[in-house]
Chain A
Amino acid sequence: MRAFLIVIGRDLQLAIKNGGATLTQLIFFISIGVIMPIAIGPDKQILADLAPAIIWIAALLSTLLGLDRLFVADHEDGTLLSLHHASISLTSISAAKIISHWLITALPLILATPLLAVMLFMELPQFLATITALLLGTPALAALGAIGAAISVTLKRGGMVAPILILPLAIPILIFGVSAANSFAGAQTSSSAMLFLGAISLLAVAFAPFAISLALKAAEE
């Protein structure tokens, strides 16, 4: 367990040292919120109606942006190779990587969501539903993204392959995420979409570490 936390701690430490990457991603996320009103027009009602979908698309695209650096550095400098002989399994390390990936890429976006909510004229209940849906759904995005990143770790310019690989798999998350955020008025449908979103996240986070460690082992061959 200690070694598990150490892996997360080191990833966070490295992310802070290379702060530019997280910042770029955050600015990308916010810029989508800025350009949408320009593209759609200043109609408050339309923007507010579309807001949950816009925020979800922005979150999806900007989490994909951070995928290329998830495993590539560790693969190139031999860290992954040496972790084969660590006292914790590659599967546990993969689980730790999902958590650190979520903390580095998804959490800053969720924290920046109020900014987008203001720009898109969201109402408070709608905003709260969106942020709950993001909290429930982004772990699945992080887990799927990590699988894509692990599969494409040996490819040159793999940064673009991982997003294309996982985009189709992310569609259910998008569907339930947007409907959970949209149906804040009718509590019934909202809660069932939320439950589905939570279930997808739990399943993805539970199974992804096995897929990731398998992909990383294959990458060393």
Chain B
Amino acid sequence: MTDCLKSQKISVSANNLGCFRDQFPIFNEISFSLSAGEALFLRGANGSGKTSLLLVLAGILPYSGKFEIKRFGENQQDIPANQLIHFIGHQNAIKPELTLKQNLQFWAQMYNGDQTSISQILEKARLFGLDNFLAGHLSAGQKHRLSLCRLLLSPRPLWLLDEPTSTLDSQGDTWVSDLISSHLANAGIIIAATHRTIELKDQKKTKSLTMGANK
């Protein structure tokens, strides 16, 4: 997985991004650039546009300005931009009627990922032994963990995370910061909206952007 990710090296740059929803400006003049192995933490009050910015970067919302993903690896010029991205938002995309394993199997196949490591991924998320448990019976924090498991199903360089630690316990916080650190170590890029500070091993590689300041 690590080698696979190294070959997908990218850098991203945003220039003067703006976003309107129903003629109402959500944010404007957002600029940043990140090279491989860097993280950007979006901060700001509720309603300052953090989630909207992530949705713009994920290619869901229309925007003004310029956002570019540059690919450096070999043989990856033909990978569509949407397949370079993992987006984990507030909605966890979990079907309560299916088991944990069935949920992850579906996403592994949708993301062209690896199905054989699902049990190991669940173990890392502290959902070990729950493979055949119905996802509807999980607690909110466990559902969020299951949703974060999608990040590990297939190696993709750009992770967009919306409040990755919001419902997690302290062990979960550590797990997420480990995930983020190892993704950065593998030359991945992370853009995360967060209120709580995420402790990382290498603080030098993180940037932070406060939203809502230039409204």
Contacts and interface: CB of A to CB of B under 8 A. Distances in A.
Interface of A: 2-3, 6, 10, 13-14, 17-18, 76-79, 81-88, 220-221
A83 B110 contact: yes
A81 B55 CA distance: 9
A17 to B, nearest CB: 4
A77 B91 contact: yes
Contacts of B83: 85, 87
Given A13-B98, A84-B82, A221 B60 contact: yes
Interface in B53-67: 55, 58-62
B111 interface: yes
A78 B111 contact: no
Given A17-B98, A78-B89, A81-B87, A6 B109 contact: yes
A4 to B, nearest CB: 10
Interface string B172-198: 000000000000000000000000000
B110 A14 contact: no
A76 B92 CA distance: 10
Nearest to A82: B93
A6 B110 contact: yes
Contact of B94 (A3, A10, A18, A77): A77
A78 B102 contact: no
A77 B92 contact: yes
B58 A85 contact: yes
B91 A3 contact: no
A77 B85 CA distance: 19
Contacts of B68: none
Interface string B66-109: 00000000000000001101110111111101100010001101
A81 B112 CA distance: 17
B89 A87 contact: no
A18 B96 CA distance: 11
B145 interface: no
Given A10-B106, A14-B98, A18-B97, A81 B111 contact: no
A3 B87 contact: no
A128 B95 CA distance: 40
B107 A82 contact: yes
Contact of B62 (A6, A10, A82, A221): A221
Contact of A86 (B90, B92, B95, B110): B110
Contacts of B106: 6, 10
The 9 closest A-B pairs by CB, nearest first: A78-B91, A87-B112, A86-B110, A17-B97, A78-B93, A82-B93, A6-B109, A79-B93, A85-B82
A77 B89 CA distance: 10
B150 interface: yes
A3 B109 CA distance: 6
A81 B109 contact: no
Nearest to B105: A6
Given A86-B111, A88-B110, A221-B60, A81 B98 contact: no
Interface in B124-180: 150, 156
A205 to B, nearest CB: 23
Contacts of B150: 82
Given A77-B91, A82-B150, A87 B98 contact: no
20 contacts: A3-B112, A6-B106, A10-B106, A13-B102, A77-B93, A77-B94, A78-B89, A78-B92, A79-B95, A81-B87, A81-B93, A82-B93, A83-B110, A85-B58, A86-B82, A87-B83, A87-B110, A87-B111, A221-B21, A221-B60
